[in-house]
Structure 1
Amino acid sequence: MGFGVDIGGSGIKGALVDLSTGRLHGERLKIPTPHPATPDAVADVVAEIVETFDWQGPIGITVPGVVKGGITHTAANIDPAWVGVDADELFARRLGRDPDDVGVLNDADAAGIAEVRFGEERFGRGVVLLLTFGTGIGSALFVDGQLVPNTEFGHIEVDGHDGESRAAASAKDNEGLSYPDWARRVNRYLSVLENLVWPDLIIVGGGVSRKAEKWVPLLQIRTPITVATRQNQAGIIGAAAAVAEGIAH
């Protein structure tokens, strides 16, 4: 058994994870992300979630930004105060844990780990790109099942714009776009990205993947596309797996 916490721009979610099946063990707990989402405020919410489950083992935690050696170097959709923070130390101190029992990693990388470890067998072959569509666009790149961390492909320039500013699920909601209108933006974003990376497979996830039938069939790019098997639970599952495997240290 493991435990994962997924920090997003709108909500912070945590749950027990069955690491033999890659499924949540019981219900998850979701608490709205505090505003401003400062490190201390977020750490308080993470502590509330962990204490609710009375979990005493290792904890994997995702953040929406670049994480190298436990240090957060960017802050996408959370407070800029996260830049330069030793997230491993922050959470270990707030949770009263040994630093070796806490691992922090990029949220999309965690989602990708969940899919590659527990999804379809083909997810571990060739160049595979996972994209999470939510408040922003997260990305995780794998080569024969090995993670290339912190890719941040949501921020590639597409027609003079930051990619996620027009193609994230939040852009659809904020601008009141229909699924066909939003799918055209996603298609343009993906066409630019596939010319950069030339993946063998693209996995799409995030909360909007629960309604994949409304937009994924509208995408027309050369790369095969499939929907994430763990959908919006992938971050929690991947975080728990990553700390158990020693990836998130």
Structure 2
Amino acid sequence: MPIGPFVGIDVGGTGIKGAPTNLDTGGLLRERIRVPTPQPSTPAAVADVVASVLEKIQGDGPVGVTLPGVVTGGVVRTAANINKEWIGVNAIDLFTEATGRPVTVVNDADAAGLAEVRFGAGTGRRGTVIVVTLGTGIGSALFVDGALVPNTEFGHLHLHHGDAEDWAAELVREREGLSWEQYAHRIEQYFRLVQRLFWPDLIIVGGGASRKAEKFLPLVNVDTEVVAAALQNDAGIVGAALLAASHLRAGSASSAGPGFGTG
């Protein structure tokens, strides 16, 4: 029986985005649907919005859902930019019940990184590659010779008397009204910290800020090569759909590798 297109749903701290994807090209099959993340972003409220987004997309294909937190075995372990009620929730069970469809759940930055390594700026790159998503917070995905090390949380590295994301996320730039020069300085300090700790061969900048990368990345001076994400803010959607497809093909939870939640 033919399977409908795989759908990616990217749940962020401020918005929930979804679209069916073309997993041969990494593109979206239709314009993405975006709705605000409910406030408070409780599990029940977010599940309802995800179900409503899927109704608008239509179709019956498997679904990949990202969450801004660590996900292991389908269970949410952290919730930095989403309601704390998520901690300990089995997100697979929650979304499966809400949507009535097969669901895969993955950390949002890991999903974005998988898409960038498959289709975008990290294609064919060996060595250590770090994808950094700048948005409501700072997400990260670490790849070594193309293999993902899941659930890294480099946005919570200590910088400037607190978590790095509290000083250098895109939302902070907007909230504080920073100039692009000021924001570039903060990003440079953050990337220098990442460089000292992990010595990456490439840093890929994704998330909402990637749409404006030309305004600040040329001002960032670090020894590591730094490039903007090719898929920009659609990477999470594409990566979530990739994981859904991988899980279906493998037919077991092992399809997503250690640290991923599948169901």
Which TM-score applies when normalising by structure 1?
A: 0.96
1:117-169 CA deviation, whole Å, 9 max, x = no partner? 11246554111000000000000000111110000100000132210000000
Residue matched to 1:214: 215
2:148 match: secondary structure: strand
Contact 2:121–2:228 (Cα < 8 Å) also in 1 = no
Shift of 1:40: 0.3
Aligned amino acid, residue 150 of structure 1: N
Matches within 5 A, 1:26-65: 26-65=30-69
1:239 counterpart = 2:240: yes
Compute the displacement of 1:214 (Å): 0.7
Instruction: Report the residue type matching 2:61 in the other structure.
Output: G
Q: Which letter does structure 1 place at the counterpart of 2:98?
A: R
Alpha-carbon RMSD across the aligned residues, in angstroms, is 1.0
Q: Is the 8 A contact 1:130 1:205 kept in 2?
A: yes
**Runs of 4 or more consecutive aligned structure 1 residues displaced over 6 Å after TM superposition:** none
Name the stretch that deviates more: 157-166 or 116-125: 116-125
Is the partner of 2:80 in helix, strand or coil?
coil
d(CA) in 1 for partners of 2:20, 2:61 = 10
Please state if 1:69 is matched with 2:68.
no
- Are residues 1:12 and 2:13 paired? no
| C-alpha distance in structure 2 between counterparts of 1:121 and 1:174, whole Å | 31
Contact (CA 8 Å) 2:122, 2:129: kept in 1 or not?
A: no
Q: CA deviation at 1:218?
A: 0.5
* Contact 1:3 1:55 (8 Å CA) reproduced: no
Separation in 2 of the partners of 1:81 and 1:55?
30
What one-letter code is carried by the residue in structure 2 that aligns with 1:184?
A: H
Equivalent AA in structure 1 for residue 90 of structure 2 = D
Q: Give 1:117-196 correspondences, 5 Å limit.
A: 117-120=118-121, 122=123, 124-196=125-197
Does 2:90 align with 1:86?
yes
Looking at structure 2, the residues matched to 63 and 237 of structure 1 have their Cα atoms a distance apart, in angstroms, of 14
Q: Specify the alignment match of 1:105 in structure 2.
A: 106
Q: 2:51–2:98: 8 Å Cα contact kept in structure 1?
A: yes
- How far has the Cα of 1:54 moved from its partner? 1.5
Is contact 1:77-1:135 (8 Å) kept? yes
Once residues 85 and 151 of structure 1 are traced to their aligned partners in structure 2, the CA distance between those partners, rounded to angstroms, is: 19
2:253 corresponding residue in structure 1: none
Percent identity reads 54
Letter in 2 for 1:198: W
C-alpha distance in structure 2 between counterparts of 1:243 and 1:146, whole Å = 17
Whether the aligned pair in 2 keeps the contact of 1:11 and 1:32 (CA below 8 Å) is yes
Instruction: Assess if the C-alpha contact under 8 Å between 1:115 and 1:123 holds in 2.
Output: no
Contact between 1:12 and 1:32, CA under 8 Å: does it hold in 2?
A: yes
Cα offset, 1:55, TM superposition = 2.2
Q: Which runs of 5+ in 1 are unaligned?
A: none
Q: 2:220 and 2:182 mapped to 1: Cα distance?
A: 11
Q: Which stretch of the first structure deviates more once superposed, 18-27 or 115-124?
A: 115-124
2: CA distance between counterparts of 1:120 and 1:184?
23
